[in-house]
């Protein structure tokens, strides 16, 4: 989910699908304080995050209030508030089972948990009616700002400011860990001074972590958990070296408000060849947004990606789709950042083909060269204006460090399914990211616009040979019917952040 001060940028709101209750572990790792530091001990906190494929997001278990009430919230680098659904909201009171089995508890509709303020002795309202987030598709969350005890990954904050979703249609809350300037209240009040200390800021102020920085390891699409590590990096969760990129300021506010970096190259590579894809929009500003399920690139380059893999843009579902069998294609796309010297992250097709349904079988193509095959959602979609978004379909292949003090992103190729750990804490407030090398001569401004050239599609054969049909027409989007389009609409459920 993406939030911004004055920008209206795109985001996919995870759809309201069938919930499952899952248990999460919480791990805590305390490091011995480094010698010679004048300040408080630098620790790190690890929270296991669970990949909820059905909801299209990563969820962490936290607790709120006194006594503690457990809730599972979506982790979001694209927004900056924590908000919890109120157990008195109609979405939580609604019975989850249609037709309503009577003896259900009052929070049946919110299977990930809801918060009952009446049952917390430490609950204090600090901004009546001040919390408000709305989405173009009509979903929203509104209510009071309050303070209460908040616990995540073993880190306990006694006075955390949060939003209470009293009027909401989203049956679970969020943990937004972005810049404080991107809090909903800053947009509502149109004033930077309305910003409060959000989670990572407060963790630093309370001395739980040395600096406002954290690392995100989403892990494989097929793996059930990843982790967020506050205050440090884990050198065992990536391959090669971490490259340090400067975050790009938001143009309209001239401030660091979201995690924007410049995407400067995309190549397609398979057994049959390699293609350098082009875009008039290079260098492309992209937001690294864990709260967005798919990735969104300019239409000119997205169309080349689709041609490589034989994806079909279906206007019926407003989305690029592929046969599910493409998940076994051996081709990959490599994303380069910050210019020629910058990091390159490869994303395999197994990370780019997502089921369209939460249970049961996917819809099938009704006609055309894929007739009878199961249809899946493709992980790279198109979008018409910047900033563009690299969501979970990209982020799973990368280990990403977010340093909100130096305004830098550390990025390296992920180590999927790593079972070892070597946590290194940031040494002090504003310390440089450990074990990371700055990208030399990096692209930090939109210079001359990119040029467009149709690639020769030498990699296409290698991408699509997994499928019987290889003759996908270039730049001709066949009008293919998809069965169950209504279901697709519901599941894709995209929306844009308003303010
Ligand atoms: C909340 O979760 C913790 C840790 O899993 C558990 O010990 C505790 O009993 C739970 N509390 C409630 C009210 O369910
Ligand atoms: C808790 O936080 C609120 C909002 O930032 C502040 O007004 C209040 O003074 C704080 N309370 C304590 C006990 O620190
Ligand atoms: C990671 O683990 C998952 C679940 O066990 C498995 O399906 C997947 O293939 C593994 N990925 C890699 C790259 O080993
Ligand atoms: C391209 O893919 C082939 C296998 O399909 C691999 O051996 C080669 O290293 C890849 N090249 C790049 C630049 O990723
Ligand atoms: C995405 O591409 C399709 C096919 O070219 C086009 O019809 C659609 O308008 C594009 N969507 C956006 C948001 O640009």
Which pLDDT value is given to residue 108? 62
Specify the 3-state DSSP secondary structure of 305.
helix
Domain ranges (residues) in the chain:
2-209, 240-479
Q: How confident is the model at residue 467 (pLDDT cuts 50, 70, 90)?
A: low
pLDDT grade for 157, boundaries at 50, 70 and 90 = very high
Measured from the Cα of 219, ligand 3's closest atom is 1
175 vs 135 pLDDT, higher one: 175
Supply the residue whose CA is at minimum distance from atom 12 of ligand 4.
Answer: 269
Q: Do 2-209 and 240-479 fold alike per CATH?
A: yes
Residue from 270, 330, 332 whose mutation best tests the ligand 4 pocket (most atoms within 8 A of CB): 332
Closest CA to 400 of 313, 481, 286: 286
**Per-residue burial over 4-31, b = 16 or more CB atoms within 10 Å of its CB, e = otherwise:** bbebebbbbbbbbbebeeeebebeebee
Question: Is residue 17 classed as helix, strand or coil in its secondary structure?
Answer: coil
* Contact predicate 465/365, CB 8 Å: no
Q: Kindly tell me the burial class for residue 194, based on how many C-beta atoms sit within 10 Å of its own C-beta (0-12, 13-18, 19 or more).
A: middle
Question: pLDDT tens digits, residue range 70-81?
Answer: 999 999 998 899
* 247-267 per-position pLDDT tens digit: 999 888 899 999 999 999 999
Choosing from 250, 289, 386, 415, which is the catalytic residue?
289
pLDDT tens digits, residue range 83-105? Answer: 999 999 999 998 644 443 443 44
| Cis geometry, peptide bond prior to residue 67 (ω within 30 degrees of 0) | yes
Bridge partners (DSSP) of residue 244 are 410, 438
**Active-site residue flag, 76:** yes
Q: What integer pLDDT is reported at residue 447 of this predicted model?
A: 66
The pLDDT value recorded for residue 95 is 62
What 8-state DSSP symbol labels residue 117?
Answer: G
Count of positions (residues) in the chain: 499
Protein residues with CB under 6 Å of any ligand 3 atom: 220, 222-223, 416-417
* CA-proximal residue: ligand 1, atom 7 (nearest): 70
How close is the Cα of 322 to the center of ligand 5, in Å? Answer: 16
Model confidence over 392-425: pLDDT tens digits? 999 999 999 999 999 999 999 999 999 999 999 9
Class of domain 240-479: mainly beta
DSSP at 169: S
pLDDT of the residue at 335: 98
pLDDT band per the 50, 70, 90 thresholds, residue 450: confident
User: For residues 250 and 257, is the Cβ–Cβ distance under 8 A?
Assistant: yes
This prediction has a pTM of 0.86
486's tokens: 């209504």
| Centroid of ligand 3 to alpha carbon of 417 (angstroms) | 6
Q: Which atom of ligand 4 is nearest to the CA of 271?
A: 5
Distance 85 CA to ligand 2 centre (A): 22
What would the two tokens of residue 116 be? 């009952």
How far away, in angstroms, is 126 Cα from ligand 2 center? Answer: 8
Spacing, Cα 251 to ligand 3 middle (Å): 40
Q: Token digits for 19? A: 């919930």
More confident residue, 105 or 126: 126
CB 143 within 8 A of CB 129: yes
Residue showing tokens 């340093």: 403
Q: What is the CATH number of domain 2-209?
A: 2.40.70.10
Task: Give catalytic status of residue 169 as yes or no.
Answer: no
Rounded Cα–Cα distance for residues 164 and 180 (Å): 18
- Say which of 76, 144, 275, 403 is annotated catalytic: 76
CB 220 within 8 A of CB 396: yes
- Can you name the residues that pair with 436 across neighbouring β-strands? 242
Query: How far is residue 199 CA from its own chain's centroid?
Result: 17
Contact 184, 81 (CB under 8 A): yes
- Is residue 269 lining ligand 4, measured as CB closer than 6 Å? yes
Q: Whose CA is nearest to atom 8 of ligand 1?
A: 70
Mean pLDDT of 449-462: 90
pLDDT at position 52, please?
84
Hey, what long-range contacts does 479-483 have (CB within 8 A, 24 or more apart)?
Answer: 479/315, 480/312, 480/314, 480/365, 480/366, 480/367, 480/368, 480/370, 481/316, 481/365, 481/366, 481/367, 482/314, 482/316, 482/317, 482/321, 482/363, 482/364, 482/365, 482/366, 482/375, 483/363, 483/364, 483/366
Q: Which letter does DSSP use for residue 473 in this model? A: P
Flag whether pLDDT at 276 surpasses 80. Answer: yes
Q: pLDDT category, 53, cuts 50, 70, 90?
A: confident
């Amino acid at each position: 989910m993406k939030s911004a001060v004055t920008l209206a940028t795109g985001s996919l709101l995870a759809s309201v699908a069938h919930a499952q209750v899952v248990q999460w572990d919480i791990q805590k790792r305390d490091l011995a304080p480094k010698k010679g530091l004048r300040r408080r001990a630098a620790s790190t906190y690890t929270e296991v995050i669970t990949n909820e494929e059905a909801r299209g997001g990563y969820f962490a278990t936290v607790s709120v209030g006194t006594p503690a009430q457990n809730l599972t919230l979506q982790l979001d680098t694209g927004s900056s508030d924590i908000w919890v659904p109120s157990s008195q909201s109609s979405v939580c009171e609604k019975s989850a089972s249609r037709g309503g089995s009577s003896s259900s508890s009052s929070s049946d509709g919110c299977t990930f948990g809801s918060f009952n303020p009446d049952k917390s002795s430490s609950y204090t309202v600090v901004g009546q009616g001040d919390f408000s987030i709305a989405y173009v598709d009509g979903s929203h969350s509104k209510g009071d700002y309050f303070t209460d005890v908040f616990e995540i990954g073993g880190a306990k904050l006694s006075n955390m400011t949060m939003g209470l979703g009293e009027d909401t249609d989203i049956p679970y809350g969020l943990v937004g860990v972005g810049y404080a300037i991107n809090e909903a209240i800053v947009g509502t009040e149109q004033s930077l001074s309305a910003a409060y200390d959000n989670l990572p800021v407060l963790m630093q102020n309370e001395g739980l972590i040395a600096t406002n920085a954290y690392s995100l390891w989403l892990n494989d699409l097929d793996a059930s958990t990843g982790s967020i590590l506050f205050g440090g990096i884990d050198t065992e969760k990536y391959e090669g070296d971490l490259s340090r990129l400067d975050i790009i300021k938001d143009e309209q506010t001239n401030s660091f408000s979201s995690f924007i970096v410049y995407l400067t190259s995309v190549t397609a590579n398979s057994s049959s060849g390699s293609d350098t894809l082009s875009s008039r929009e290079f260098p492309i500003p992209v937001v690294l947004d864990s709260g967005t399920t798919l990735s969104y690139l300019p239409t000119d380059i997205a169309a080349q990606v689709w041609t490589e893999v034989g994806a079909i843009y279906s206007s019926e579902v407003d989305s690029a789709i592929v046969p599910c069998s493409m998940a076994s294609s051996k081709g990959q796309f490599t994303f380069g950042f910050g210019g020629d010297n910058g990091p390159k992250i490869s994303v395999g097709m197994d990370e780019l083909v997502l089921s369209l349904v939460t249970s049961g079988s996917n819809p099938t193509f009704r006609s055309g060269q894929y007739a009878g095959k199961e249809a899946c959602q493709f992980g790279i979609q198109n979008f018409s204006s910047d900033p563009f978004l690299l969501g979970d379909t990209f982020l799973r292949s990368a280990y990403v460090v977010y340093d909100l003090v130096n305004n830098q992103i550390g990025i390296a190729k992920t180590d999927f399914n790593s079972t070892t750990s070597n946590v290194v804490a940031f040494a002090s407030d504003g310390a440089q990211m450990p074990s990371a090398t700055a990208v030399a001569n990096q692209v930090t401004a939109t210079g001359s616009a990119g040029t467009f050239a149709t690639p020769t599609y030498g990699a296409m054969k290698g991408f699509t040979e997994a499928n019987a049909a290889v003759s996908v027409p270039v730049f001709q989007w066949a009008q293919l019917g998809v069965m169950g389009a209504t279901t697709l609409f519901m599941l894709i459920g995209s929306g844009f952040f308003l303010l």
